[in-house]
Amino acid sequence: MGIILELMPQIVKAFGETFYMLIVTLSIAALLGIPLGTYLYLIRPGSMLQKPKIYLVLDMLVNIVRSFPFLVLLVAVIPFTRFVVGTSLGTTAVIVPLSISATPDFARLIEQVLLDVNRGVIEMAEASGANVFQIIWKVLYREARSGMVSSATMLCVSFISYSTVAGLVGGGGIGDFAIRYGYYRYQPKVMIFTVVLIIALVQVIQTIGRSVSHRLDKRI
Amino acid sequence: MIRLNDINKTYETANGPLRAVNSVTVNISAGEIFGFIGFSGAGKSTLLRCINLLEKPDSGQVFVDGEDFTRLQKKELLKRRQKIGMIFQHFNLIQNATVYQNVAFPLEIAGLDKKLRRERILHSLETVDLLEKETAYPVKLSGGQKQRVAIARAIVTNPKILLCDEPTSALDPQTTQSILHYLKRINQEFGITIVLVTHEMEAARKICNRVSVMDGGKVVETLNMSESIPEPQSELAKFLFVNGGGI
């Protein structure tokens, strides 16, 4: 137990870095991914604003970015990262590839959740004279809100895992800590302790996400 | 009130083009309850959706109060739709909104002042005897209650026209009676013109002033129901009448 107590400050720091990466990444993914996902939904063939050609291009783009293994993406976007944050090393620098990876993921999840919204309710809104903007805010997001929270929760959990790769470019975080102290320094106790912490973190995120999603859902 | 002039609508399907509506001309007078009846696939729902341009006819005109809807700009059309209520077979309530919020929806869309909304909404709910369900969510309601909320929502903007797309087809016979009763009452009390699409002769017979029988996208015959015994001419109309209870 002594070793863990000794490393406590580093563990706390690593946790802080992980939270920092997650919060900024998810905020950017939400800010860009929700509009992108909504737009994809709207321009789908057969949907409200159908624009089949733009859809084809955007759809493919989303698929391409999502196909990249995160490690490859991390390296591939280094020039862009350097351009945006001035450096390709460190926690802030990792946020760039994390966000690039998370945005199309979130967009796709949002598109799927919106597709589950009952077409009849949308038709009702159209019959009431609602414009597209009103349909999005007053119907689509209202009906899809619990699914959107579930998607965000899912994304959050996957990106805890992605953020562990950040260590490669000096990004820090709890996963990086586990590798450096637990694996490279042959301290299995530290490794186990860190993994347990990560499991607890995922549990907490999942529980909060589920409870919020459930509270927003009035269909059951 | 409503004049459908030579409406045509064709869909492209996997099995080639399908003429859903074939040269239909109908005049619906103010204050009447007008029915369209026929088997499924006869084109009656498509025709109903042409009235508020949820379906854009390939050719023909839709006159409402003398105004040709097919020539309106999108923005104008949205305004006109705010004055036409609509109810559906599956009610189409917003599941994550309370009864009150559902009825409030068309007023929000119309941009009515928040302070003025409450009275209108309560009056609407009172009309369908659902005042006590104000704070309930749709999932807690029975089918009949859901359709009554939908009716309250459809009439909250004081529309002149109410479009009903198979409003009783998902309901049991008893609830059907109750919904028909409310529709009739709304028609009489507020003078709202009702267009009713149904495949149940019983519903048409009960509240309609006139009924158009549709088959294969065409109006086969229009019957005047206020005559003591309407005399159907076409085979289909005769069949519908003989099987009076429904199809």
Q: Which chain B residues touch A128 with a CB distance below 8 Å?
A: 81-82, 86, 105-106, 109
> Which CATH number does the domain A18-174 belong to among 1.10.150.120, 3.40.50.12160, 2.60.40.1080, 1.10.3720.10?
1.10.3720.10
> In CATH, what class is B1-83+197-247?
alpha beta
Nearest to B92 among A120, A130, A134 (CB): A120
User: How confident is the model at residue B242, as a pLDDT?
Assistant: 66
Q: What 8-state DSSP symbol labels residue A171?
A: -
The DSSP H or E segment spanning B232 is none
Distance CA B240, CA B213 (A): 9
Is B33's pLDDT higher than 70? yes
Q: Which chain B residues are Cβ-neighbours of A124 within 8 angstroms? A: 86, 88, 92
* Residues in B touching A142 (Cβ below 8 Å): 94, 96-97
pLDDT at B246: 44
Taking one residue from A and the other from B, the number of pairs with CB-CB distance under 8 angstroms is 69
SS3 of residue B23 by DSSP? strand
Interface of B with A (CB under 8 A): 52, 54, 77-82, 84, 86, 88, 90, 92-97, 105-106, 108-110, 137-139, 163
For chain B, give every domain's residue range.
1-83+197-247
How many Å separate Cα B228 from the centre of its chain? 25
Domain range annotation of chain A: 18-174
pLDDT in tens, B126-153: 999 999 999 999 999 999 999 999 999 9
User: What pLDDT score was predicted for residue A182?
Assistant: 85
Rounded to an integer, the average pLDDT of B239-244 is 66
Q: Please, what is the average pLDDT of chain A?
A: 92
pLDDT, tens digit, 9 for 90 and up, residues B150-195: 999 999 999 999 999 999 999 999 999 999 999 999 999 999 999 9
Cα–Cα distance, A87 to A102 (Å, whole number) = 20
Where does residue B22 fall: left (phi above 0), alpha (psi -120 to 50 degrees), or beta otherwise?
A: beta
Residue-level length of chain A: 220
Q: How is A102-133 classified by DSSP, letter by letter?
A: HHHHHHHHHHHHHHTS-HHHHHHHHHTT--HH
pLDDT for B233 equals: 78
Closest CA to A48 of A109, A2, A115, A106: A115
pLDDT band at residue B243 using 50, 70 and 90 as cut-offs: low
Chain A residues in contact with B88 by the CB 8 A cut-off are: 120, 123-124
State the nearest Cα–Cα gap between A217 and chain B, in angstroms.
7
Name the residue facing B96 among A125, A129, A219 (closest C-beta): A219
For A219, counting Cβ atoms within 10 Å of its Cβ (0-12 exposed, 13-18 middle, 19+ buried), the class is: exposed
ipTM of the assembly?
0.92
Separation in Å, CA of B226 to nearest CA in chain A: 30
Q: How much of chain B exceeds pLDDT 70, in percent? A: 96
Per-residue pLDDT of chain A (220 residues), as tens digits, is 688 888 889 999 999 999 999 999 999 999 999 999 999 999 999 888 989 999 999 999 999 999 999 889 999 999 999 999 998 888 999 999 999 999 999 999 999 999 999 999 999 999 999 999 999 999 999 999 999 999 999 999 999 888 888 777 888 888 888 888 888 888 888 889 988 999 999 999 999 999 999 999 998 8
Euclidean distance between the first and the last CA atom of chain B, given in angstroms as a whole number: 30
User: Which residues of chain A neighbour B109 with C-beta distances below 8 Å?
Assistant: 125, 128-130, 134, 138
CB spacing of B92 vs A123 below 8 angstroms: yes
Considering CB atoms only, which of A138, A146, A218 is closest to B137?
A: A218
Say yes or no for a CB contact (<8 Å) between A143 and B94: yes
Cα distance between residue B102 and residue A149, in whole Å: 23
The Cα–Cα gap between B122 and B134 comes to: 8
Burial class (CB in 10 A: 0-12, 13-18, 19+), A125: buried
The amino acid sitting at B178 is S
Q: Do A124 and B86 touch (CB under 8 A)?
A: yes
Chain B environment of A127 (Cβ under 8 Å):
52, 54, 81, 84, 86, 163
Distance from the A58 Cα atom to the nearest Cα atom in chain B, whole angstroms: 26
Q: Which residues of B touch A129 (CB under 8 A)?
A: 77-82, 106, 109-110
Residue of B nearest to A220 (CA): B139
Average pLDDT, rounded, for chain B: 91
**B105–A125: do the CB atoms touch at under 8 Å?**
yes
Residue B163 to residue A127, Cβ atoms within 8 A: yes
B197 vs B28: CA distance, rounded Å: 13
pLDDT of residue A144: 97
Which residues on A lie below 8 Å from B82 (Cβ)? Answer: 128-129
Of B78, B86, B108, the CB nearest to A138: B108
pLDDT tens for B74-127 read 999 999 999 999 999 999 999 999 999 999 999 999 999 888 999 999 999 999
**How far does CA B141 lie from the centroid of its chain?**
22
Is the pLDDT at B13 greater than 90? The verdict is no
